[in-house]
Structures are given as C-alpha cells and as structure tokens.
Chains A and B, each alone.
Chain A
Amino acid sequence: MPSTITPPEIDRHRISDGNNGHRPPTDKRTGGNGEGDGDNWNNRPRGHRGPHERISQARIGLFFALGGDLMFFVALISVFFVTKASGHFDAYDHFINQWLPTAIPSILWLNTIALLLSSVTAEIARRAMFRDVDAMDEWFGLGRPVSYRAALWLSATLALGILFLAGQWVAWDQLAAQHVFFRSNPSSHFFYLITITHAVHLFLGIVALIVALAALKFSRSLATRQVFVDTTVWYWHVMGALWIFLFLLLEFGQ
C-alpha cells in the first residue's frame, strides 16, 4: 500500500502479540523503511510479507485438505463401480446381480441449478474482497464498502446453499415416500451415501459461510476478512464442482 506518513519507530517495531489485540486496524508499517526499496513487502522475511502471504498460505492449506477429501470420494466412487459390477452365481449357475438403478428425483436438477448459481454469487463476493478502490475507501475511513458488498453476495450464497440442502431433503423425502431407503438396494446405498456425505460437506460449507459473514461484520483487519471469504468460496466452488460430478454419476452412471 502506498505511504502517506511514516509512523514513529515505537509503532513500527512493536512486537507481534499474535493478532490478539493491541494491533492497529491496519498494518502501520507502510511508510518507507529507510532502505530505498519503497518498503517492498517481498523483501521482508517469510511469514512477514503481509496479506498476500497469509492468503496464499490459507489457500495452500485448503488445497491439501481438499486433495485428501477428494480421495475420500474417489474411494466411495470406486466402491460404487465395484459393487455395481459384482454379483454371484446361484444354484442353477445363473449370474445374479442385485443392482437395481435408483430413480433419481427430478428435483435434483433444480438443486443443481441452485448450487451452480450459489457458486456464481460466491465468486462475486470473493472478487468484491479484492477491489482496490473499496480497500482505499476503508483505509481512508470512509465506511466498509468491502464488507457491505461481499456480505450481500455471501448472504445470497448462504440462502442458495440452504435452498440446495432443503432440496436434497425433499429428494430424500420423495424417495422415502416411494419406499426407497438406504437399505433397499445396493444402488440406493450409494444414492444415500453420496448425497449425504456431500450434504455433510456442504453443511460444513454453510458453517464456513456463516463464519465468513461474522468475520465480515466483526473483523477489523481487511486481510483477515479476505482470508475467511476467499477460502470459504474456494471450498464452496470445489463442493459445487464435486456435486456436478456426483450428480452426473447418479443420473447417468447407474
């Protein structure tokens, strides 16, 4: 960020207290550092390079977490195909395969559209976090346009996400009305396993959205708000893309 005033020495060299208070609303070490490099944060030691480093660390952590998470679904889907193909020979030497495809409630199409839309609103919210003009406004003390903009779109995402989960509930309800339960057939095991594990992940995403909204409201540091919103939205995107794949698998892969 460009410099206006070089803060006094005692403010610039304040020992970090682990972000638990006593910290000015923005990083004050913005004036020249006396080394003639325009206080380029990249010249600072690792771990002290400002918001960009923080957000990249959070993203990388999320990337590894999602890598592991996707392996979870890879395992489930492998079992899906193995179970679909397996059977046994009966006493008359007939190959018996018990797999009866589960009819997918058509509300899942609507749910999918809701989830796709929620990814769009989430992306708008994420991009709103990085608008220089809004950040400058906040820097000058002219309100918190970043939070207002992002909170609006994030709330829309939250609403669409809850709509998706409600839609999934309706789908389970419809299946139950047709007496299709988890235990009914190998294919219904997978319908419920896949939709429920995905719904649990999406529920975690909704919790993350609520936390991000709380951060938008209460956190004073713009960098912190960016981290919360950015990681939440990336998680949301991955869960959306994963759902597209899982939905296509259930709709056409049985």
Chain B
Amino acid sequence: MNPLPIPTNPGAPFMARLLRHEWVSAKLRHATHHRTIGFGYLLLSLVAVIIGALLSLIMRTHLAWPNWQLPLHGPILPEEYLALVTMHGTLMLFFVLTVAPQSGFGNLILPAQLGTRHMAFPRINAAGLYLTAFALVTLLAAFFVPGGAPIGGWTAYPPLSATPLAGPGQGFGMDLWLASIALFSIATTLNAINMLTTITNLRCEGLTWERLPLTVWGWFTAALLSILAFSVLLAAILLLFCDRHLHSGFFFPAQDLISGTLLQHRGDGSPLLWLHLFWFFGHPEVYIAILPGMGLTSMVIANFSRRRVFAYRLMIATTLLIGFLGILVWGHHMFVAGLNPFAGTAFSISTIAIALPAAAKVFSWLATTWGSRPRLATPMLFALGFVSLFITGGLTGPILAQPILDEYLHNTFFVVAHFHLIMAMAGVFGLFCATYYWAPLLFHRTLSEPLGKLHFWTTLLGAYSTFLPMHFTGLAAEPRHYSQLTGIAGPSAALLQSTLPLQRHITASAIFLVCAQLPFFLNLLLAWRRPANKDTNPWDATTMEWAPNAFNPHPIDQPSIVYRGPSHYADTGTEFLPQWSPVNTFNTEAE
C-alpha cells in the first residue's frame, strides 16, 4: 500500500494526525484485530506448552533414574528439581490452560459465534496480549538470574516464598515470578473485561441469552471468574511483595525459623492467610481452565451426533453453578494445612456439591450422543476423550473432598494424578478438539483425519498410561515434590523402592505422550501445503461462526441475524437448521 501523505490539519495534535494516517491506521487495525490477538495468544501458549512439557520430561526422567545426567548440565540437584516443578506448574496453569482456551480460542471464535465482527475494546485486548507476552518473558527470565528459578511451587506458599533465606531461586527468581504473575493477572483481567462486554453488548440480532452456544457460556462464566479471582491474586502478590521487601509480616508466623535463621519482629502473620487468598484465586482458576472445554464438548458432541444438546437450559445453569460453587470451595486445598476442622467440613460439603452440576454435564454429554450414530471424526473423538478423562479424573474428586481421606492423600501423587487427568489432560483434549474442529475456519483447511485419529488414540493411551499409575504410586505413599525416591532412610524406603518399576513405566509413558504430539504438528504442517477448503461448513455445524462469511466478513456484508438456538438437527434425516438460516425447512416444530 502506498503511504498517503498525512492530511494537513495544523490544528490537530501530532498524534491525532498520525493516527489518521492511512497506513498507520491500517497497521493499528490489524494489530488490534481479534484474530491477530487470538493467534498471538495461541502462539504464546504453544511456546509455554513446549517448554512446560520438556521440563516435565526432565523431572520424570530424574525420578525414574536419579543418577541420570542432563546433557550440557549434569546431575539434577534437589533444588533444581523443585525449580522444574515450579516452572512446569506455572507455565502450564497460567500460560497454557488459562491463555489458550480463554484468551486464544475465545478471541478467535467468540465474535463470529456472536455474529459480530469485533470485540468491544480492541485496543485493551491488544494490551492484554502484549502484557501476557511480557509476563511470559519475565517468567522465563527467572531461569537465567543468579539463584535460578523459584522453588516454591506454582502456589508459592510462604513463609518460604517470602524470604530469600529459603533457598536458591527464592531471591531474584521469586521476584521475577511475582512480577510475571502480577502482569499476567492484569492481562487476564483486561481480556475478561473485553469478553464480558462483548458478550453482553455485541450479540447480533436475535441472539438471545438462551440461544448462545454453550461455548460462549463457558467463556462468559470463565471471564466472570477471572475478574473475581485474579484481582485477589494481585492483592496477595502485593502483600507478599511487601513481606519480601518492605519488612511487613503478613505471612510470617511469630518467631519463624527459616534455614537456621530466626526471623523476629516480623509480626503475627500466618502462612494460612496466603493459602486462603491464593486458593480463593486458585480454585476458580482451574474452572477458568476447564469451562471453555466443557462448553465446546457439549457443542461438538451435539454437532457430530446430529442431535440437540440434551437439556440445553440445564447445561447453561450447570455452567453458571459450577462457576458459582467454584468460588466457595477454596478451603479444600487446605485440609492438611491447619484449617479449622469445622471449616473443613463446610468446604467438604460445598466441594462435593460440585459433583451435582458436573455429573449433570456428563449425563447430558452421554444422553446427547446415546443411540445416535455419531460421526467419529477427530474433533468428536477428542470431545469424547474429554468426557472420558473428565469422568476418570472427576471420580477421585469426591474422594479428595473428604478431609479424612485427604489427610492421607493430600501430599501424595494421588492428587497429582487427579488434577492432571481432570484439569491438565481434559483441558488439553479440549484444546485439541477446538483446533481440529475450528481448523477449517482458522486455517481454511480441514486437518487430515488419519493423522488426527493416530494423534487421538496415541494421546489417549499416553495420557492414561502416564497418569493412571500415579494413583497407585500415590496410594503407596509417594510424596509430592520429592526429587528422589531412593536413598531415603527408614521403613518408607522399601515402600518407595517398590514403586520404582512403576515410576519407570510412568516416565516411559510421558515420553511416549510427548512423542504422540508429533502427528499433530505434522498434520498442521501438511495442512499448510494443501489447497484451501471450498466447503465453508464441513461439519454441518449450526452455530454462527460457520455461517458464510461470518468468520471472515467483508465490510459491506449485511449484519448477521440469528433465528434460533444452536444444534437443530432433524430427528431422522440429514437435515439441520443452522442458526443463521431464515427459513425453517423442517416439517417439525421450529423451536
């Protein structure tokens, strides 16, 4: 494009004249376009997931073969192992499971699903992306500072996170961690404000709340939770920063002894206070990670089963209810941390109550596909895989929700198995489902089915083979955060020694699971070389993003109109009524 001369209007200030310039405004529009931002977020989470997965492989290899030397590094010291744990958790929780489903796919798909062309606040949206990128760089920089990365885990429990005395990485590394997560909180809040406003204000004609696809409900609820939770995390980080640098004592107990140093005159703080603040954020956070996947699973299962979503209104209600209950259950992370037992009972009840809406969701998924002849394309397989992992991981939830059982299991690998299945694996299956399902929109190409199926089956096998055995090592009392299971004195040594064959199996499975992602990347690469799809709606989908030109609208297109709720499939034949079709071609009832 030829840069045109800047229109001369001597009265206007320089910035205004500059912004009015054709070339500048075109660049700005591109940079603030929701699709640019969505792909940017996905790219960030791709970087994070690759690094996070590599860190986990190093941890697994070290657990199974403690004397293994990391090439170019040497043996892995206990504090380095803890740094790996911390960075793996932080990268995966924040930069993968929060960024990709909510900010990434949310930005890419949400406007089209609402029948609108833009988000409510494009510039705020772009600011969110840049802040997130900056937060990621800040976090990764912690590897390269004196002392290395922090070793306090992604939960950063004080008092060990509140003083550099606690170990290497708790100095400058921990400060970088705090800065990174503070930036991340602000970025996620900006993104959530943008999404909530877009959903409340920019739905197209006819798109009532009840007609919103369940994916939108998932994003909406997750954004609400983000607004409530990340501000509290930000406040907690501010207080921890004060404890570290301004000599306050919010989280230090009186007369605390850390690494042989007695910390006096630091107030009567309580580490438990941090746990309250952190988990008030942390538990909603895991629902932020999983709710978009739940919504997508509902829609994809209905799409490929060619059925309506079973109990649609109830699914909206359960989405909101899971979000609401998610705010009330944070104490179940603290059963063994010195929580008042009566409070434990209350949190136990609210936690077990989540089983109700969660089970309702599972039944709806099963009922939707039950007796249909689903088209088992790759997105459908990943949606079913999501259901499978959600059930497997979810069933251990009510077990861990009971304080008396949690007392034994909390610091074992049983919990690791639980949250990796229900949150990490189910969340990642949701992401794969989204990628395969929306590939015709995002890349204008359908991804290869044989490669996709190979990817699905190997990933499913790898996921179960990696995380199911962790239940058993956990029941055999394998503790979390132990860098080495051999060479421990006492009777527990024999017990831990006995889990070593299983440890090697888990490690091999983890390597297999990572290798199983190669077909996926190959698939993306091969799709690049294929010609573009002609068919704009290859899955016979009904939601608005598949309407002709909805994802890629031309400025002079007519605005979208929605005529009905999603997933209207005829009971018998192959007919379906997309949301954008003005005529009812069914002979049956319309709504």
B194 at the interface (CB under 8 A from A): yes
A16 at the interface (CB under 8 A from B): yes
Give the segment of B13-21, B151-159, B439-447 that binds chain A: B13-21
Task: Report the nearest B residue to A182, measured CB to CB.
Answer: B246
Q: What 4 additional pairs, Cβ within 8 angstroms, besides A79-B250, A183-B248?
A: A68-B189, A74-B232, A78-B277, A83-B250
B559 touches A48 (CB 8 A): yes
Considering the chains assembled together, what is the distance between the CA atoms of A197 and B234 in angstroms?
12
The interface of chain A, by Cβ under 8 A from chain B, is 15-18, 20-21, 45-48, 53, 56-57, 60-61, 64-65, 67-76, 78-79, 82-83, 86-88, 96-98, 182-183, 186, 189, 193, 197, 218
**Could you write out 6 A-B pairs with CB less than 8 Å apart?**
A21-B7, A45-B560, A47-B202, A68-B192, A71-B227, A71-B228
B227 touches A88 (CB 8 A): no
B270 at the interface (CB under 8 A from A): yes
B248 touches A189 (CB 8 A): yes
Choose from B121, B189, B247 the contact partner of A183 (Cβ within 8 Å): B247
Check A75/B248 contact, CB under 8 A, given A20-B25, A57-B201, A86-B268: no
B116 touches A46 (CB 8 A): yes
A186 touches B267 (CB 8 A): yes
Considering the chains assembled together, what is the distance between the CA atoms of A74 and B16 in angstroms?
39
Considering the chains assembled together, what is the distance between the CA atoms of A73 and B235 in angstroms?
8
Find chain B residues with CB under 8 A from A15 CB: 555-556
* Nearest chain A CB to B193 CB, angstrom units: 5
Most interface-central of A21, A82, A88, A96 (chain B CB within 10 A)? A21
* Nearest chain B CB to A162 CB, angstrom units: 23
B227 touches A67 (CB 8 A): yes
B227 touches A45 (CB 8 A): no
Task: Report the nearest B residue to A60, measured CB to CB.
Answer: B197
* Nearest chain B CB to A45 CB, angstrom units: 4
Encode contact with A along B220-253: 1 for CB under 8 Å, 0 otherwise.
0000000111111011101100100011111001
Find chain B residues with CB under 8 A from A78 CB: 277
Find chain A residues with CB under 8 A from B235 CB: 72-73, 75-76, 79
A189 touches B202 (CB 8 A): no
Find chain B residues with CB under 8 A from A60 CB: 196-197, 200-201
* Nearest chain A CB to B288 CB, angstrom units: 13
B506 at the interface (CB under 8 A from A): no
Find chain B residues with CB under 8 A from A97 CB: 268
Which secondary structure characterizes the binding site on chain A? helix
* Nearest chain A CB to B114 CB, angstrom units: 9
Task: Report the nearest B residue to A15, measured CB to CB.
Answer: B555
Considering the chains assembled together, what is the distance between the CA atoms of A69 and B254 in angstroms?
31
Considering the chains assembled together, what is the distance between the CA atoms of A46 and B267 in angstroms?
56
Rank and list the top 3 A-B pairs by shortest CB-CB distance, nearest first: A45-B559, A75-B235, A21-B20
B204 at the interface (CB under 8 A from A): yes
A88 touches B201 (CB 8 A): no
B29 at the interface (CB under 8 A from A): yes
B204 touches A45 (CB 8 A): yes
* Nearest chain A CB to B489 CB, angstrom units: 34
* Nearest chain B CB to A179 CB, angstrom units: 15
Find chain B residues with CB under 8 A from A88 CB: 253-255, 268
Encode contact with A along B117-150: 1 for CB under 8 Å, 0 otherwise.
1101100100000000000000000000000000
B12 at the interface (CB under 8 A from A): yes
A46 touches B250 (CB 8 A): no
Choose from B28, B197, B560 the contact partner of A57 (Cβ within 8 Å): B197
Choose from A48, A82, A183 the contact partner of B270 (Cβ within 8 Å): A82
A69 touches B205 (CB 8 A): no
A64 touches B116 (CB 8 A): no
Check A87/B268 contact, CB under 8 A, given A21-B25, A45-B559, A61-B121: yes
Task: Report the nearest B residue to A73, measured CB to CB.
Answer: B235
Considering the chains assembled together, what is the distance between the CA atoms of A48 and B277 in angstroms?
42
Choose from A61, A86, A183 the contact partner of B246 (Cβ within 8 Å): A183
B269 at the interface (CB under 8 A from A): yes
B205 touches A45 (CB 8 A): yes
Task: Report the nearest A residue to B243, measured CB to CB.
Answer: A189
Find chain A residues with CB under 8 A from B193 CB: 61, 64-65, 68
A182 touches B231 (CB 8 A): no
* Nearest chain B CB to A65 CB, angstrom units: 5
Check A64/B559 contact, CB under 8 A, given A18-B29, A72-B231, A96-B268: no
Check A20/B242 contact, CB under 8 A, given A46-B202, A60-B197: no
B165 at the interface (CB under 8 A from A): no
B555 touches A186 (CB 8 A): no
B239 touches A64 (CB 8 A): no
Find chain A residues with CB under 8 A from B7 CB: 21
Task: Report the nearest B residue to A53, measured CB to CB.
Answer: B201
Most interface-central of B235, B253, B559 (chain A CB within 10 A)? B235
Task: Report the nearest B residue to A21, measured CB to CB.
Answer: B20
Considering the chains assembled together, what is the distance between the CA atoms of A47 and B236 in angstroms?
38
Task: Report the nearest B residue to A76, measured CB to CB.
Answer: B235
Task: Report the nearest B residue to A90, measured CB to CB.
Answer: B254
B306 at the interface (CB under 8 A from A): no
Find chain A residues with CB under 8 A from B477 CB: none
Check A75/B231 contact, CB under 8 A, given A57-B201, A218-B12: yes
Considering the chains assembled together, what is the distance between the CA atoms of A61 and B254 in angstroms?
43
Find chain A residues with CB under 8 A from B559 CB: 45-48
Considering the chains assembled together, what is the distance between the CA atoms of A65 and B231 in angstroms?
10
Find chain B residues with CB under 8 A from A182 CB: 242, 246-248
Find chain B residues with CB under 8 A from A45 CB: 204-205, 559-560
Most interface-central of A17, A56, A73, A79 (chain B CB within 10 A)? A79
B236 touches A75 (CB 8 A): yes
